[in-house]
Amino acid sequence: MNLATSFGPLHVPHNVSSERVNAVQRALQWCDAITEGTSLWQRNTVEKHVVVERFVNGARVTLSPILAARQDFGDDKTGFSRHHLPVTVNDRPICVVPKRGILERNKSLLLHTDLVASLLLLLGSEDPPLEELPKTLGKVLYPKAFPGGRFDIFFSPERQRLHERFHDEVGNEEEAMAFFGALDERSWVHCLPLLDPHTYPECARFHAERIVSRGIERRNGINIVWALDIIHTLDPEHYNERLPIFMSHPAEDVAQYAIENYQAVDSEDAWGAFSPLLGHPYNESFWDIIIRLLEFPDLQESLLDRCELLLKESEDHEFRTKILSFMSNYRNMDDPIRLMIGELQPHELPTFVFEIKTYGAWFEEIAFEWIESGRSRLNRSIVEASMANTSFDRFPLWEKLMHSSSGAVRTSLMPHLAHVGTDQAFRLIESQTNHELRFVSRRAYVWVASFKRHPRTGDVLLQGMESQYKGVRLECQRLLQLRRDEGLDP
């Protein structure tokens, strides 16, 4: 099956569930609405699909919602690894993954398309908030503002001069060896990207081994990652065995590279390679190890036992909140969660509530108490946390949120209600179609339209044609036309 989207045609494999297809369609509509509502994002066509681009601090940032949708449908040939968003800066792929410590439950259920939409929102202001940017993206866009920012090396005049020399002087393997042999260490680093392993295999292999042989003491992450990529190309049979030593490398990007690319032959091999690094819970790579170990279901209990021991032993407040929220998605941790809630400062509560999974009906009572405080961020977290707890009737809580919260909270609740898909959920979304805030009204009509088979969907959209807002009327007109095109309405 092929879908027509505003970002180009999208093939849907036969094994993808209709629920996931609908969720991806909604996320693409969200991407569409975000980029329509601002002049910062511009559309461009790349390889027969539409991408969205804008300049941030002089660099061109490109996001591809359609590639994200293909990732959500299991396509591993998009050019981006698992959990990595389709983001480039000046045509160079950037490693952007969900936040470390994010619920692995969410990581498996969250869509790449939803995450792209979130990134579109984050970068949707003239000056994006630096503290909210993914670190890898921040290092690229604002190298002086982020520790370890190195991207400015790629734009240095010295690098350009050396590249011109290389292209003038080097035409074969022997000349490449001579050229690099005459360079000092600093210049040598600038020219490594020129060593195409297919054109200059022996020179590339020599310098890759030269870098890797320095092992864990070598702190220049860019060089080591380049060298490991060269080894992967020229010596794939021995590539995997070279990675473990770099999992504990002091350069974060090297450790992350080694952890992500190591291919364990079985769960025993995975535990042997990764579990020793769990003894360093304050390292940046700790959560990368967690994610890799979760790929092996038979290791889950051993992993959670180790995490529970770390929770009991740790006196670091921040780490304890993160490890507890992670564990709660696999074990009932309600008792320590309730104790932790009592320890948290008000500003810490929204993030913690967003990331936990609770199991008991006790959450309903405390959630109603929190709503009364009128804190928008906390209310949005209550929306997320309530979705995973089915121990009580959540509709009274959702009705309270929908009728007493900010517009942002109301719109964040709508996609979850659409996923529930009941008539009660439909009516709760419908109640917001006449909201005084235009963006709330418009989003309500969009989510009403997602109930394609509900008997009142067409009538509600027709009512939207009478809205006082032109944008809402145009949106309803578009949604009605889509229904006619799909044969849902006459």
Q: What's the pLDDT score for residue 279?
A: 85
Q: Where are the domains of the chain?
A: 2-152, 156-263, 406-490
**Tens digit of each residue's pLDDT (9 = 90 or more) over 361-395:** 999 999 999 998 888 889 989 998 999 899 999 99
Q: What's the pLDDT score for residue 215?
A: 63
d(CA 246, CA 262): 10
Q: What's the pLDDT score for residue 101?
A: 44
Q: Which of 473, 466, 469, 460 is nearest to 431 (CA)?
A: 460
3-class state of residue 257 by DSSP: helix
Q: What's the pLDDT score for residue 102?
A: 47
Give Cα separations from 333 to 97, 117, 165, 311, 336 (angstroms). 26, 31, 62, 12, 6
With b meaning 16 or more CB within 10 Å and e meaning fewer, what string describes 169-198? ebeeeeebbebbeeeeeeebbbbbebbebe
Q: What's the pLDDT score for residue 148?
A: 53
Largest CA distance in the chain: 76
Cα angle value 383/387/388 (rounded, 5°)? 130
d(CA 351, CA 344): 11
Residue 305 neighbours by CB under 8 Å, 6+ apart: none
d(CA 183, CA 165): 12
pLDDT tens for each residue of the chain, 490 residues long: 678 788 888 888 887 888 888 889 888 988 888 887 678 888 888 877 889 999 888 888 999 999 999 988 888 778 877 678 899 888 888 878 775 444 444 444 578 998 999 899 888 888 888 778 888 788 888 876 665 554 444 456 777 888 889 989 999 999 999 999 998 877 877 788 888 899 999 999 999 998 888 765 545 666 888 899 999 999 999 999 999 999 988 887 788 889 989 999 999 999 999 999 998 887 778 888 998 999 899 999 999 999 999 999 999 998 999 999 999 999 999 999 999 999 999 989 998 998 899 999 999 999 999 998 888 889 989 998 999 899 999 999 999 999 999 998 999 899 889 989 999 999 999 999 999 999 999 999 999 999 999 999 999 999 999 999 999 999 999 999 999 988 998 8
With 0-12 / 13-18 / 19 or more C-beta atoms within 10 angstroms meaning exposed / middle / buried, residue 232 is middle
Q: What's the pLDDT score for residue 100?
A: 47
Q: Is the pTM of this model over 0.75?
A: no
Q: What's the pLDDT score for residue 122?
A: 87
